[in-house]
Amino acid sequence: MSIGSRHWAIGEGYIPASGNEQGDPRFESHETACLLNVNDVDAHVTIMLYFSDREPVGPYRVTVPARRTLHLRFNDLADPAPVPRETDYASVFCSDIAIVVQHTRLDSRQPALALLSTIAFAERSPG
Residues contacting a copy of itself: total by CB under 8 A: 60
Q: Is 34 helix (H, G, I), strand (E, B) or coil?
A: strand
From candidates 46, 63, 75, 104, binder to a copy of itself by CB under 8 A: 104
Tell me the DSSP string of 65-103. -TTEEEEEEGGG--SS-PPPTT--EEEEEEEEEEEEEEE
From candidates 76, 81, 96, 110, binder to a copy of itself by CB under 8 A: 110
Nearest to 50 by CA among 16, 15, 13: 13
Binding site for a copy of itself (CB under 8 A): 1, 3-4, 7, 9-14, 20, 26-27, 32, 34-36, 38, 48, 50-53, 55-56, 67-71, 86, 88-90, 92, 100-105, 107-124, 127
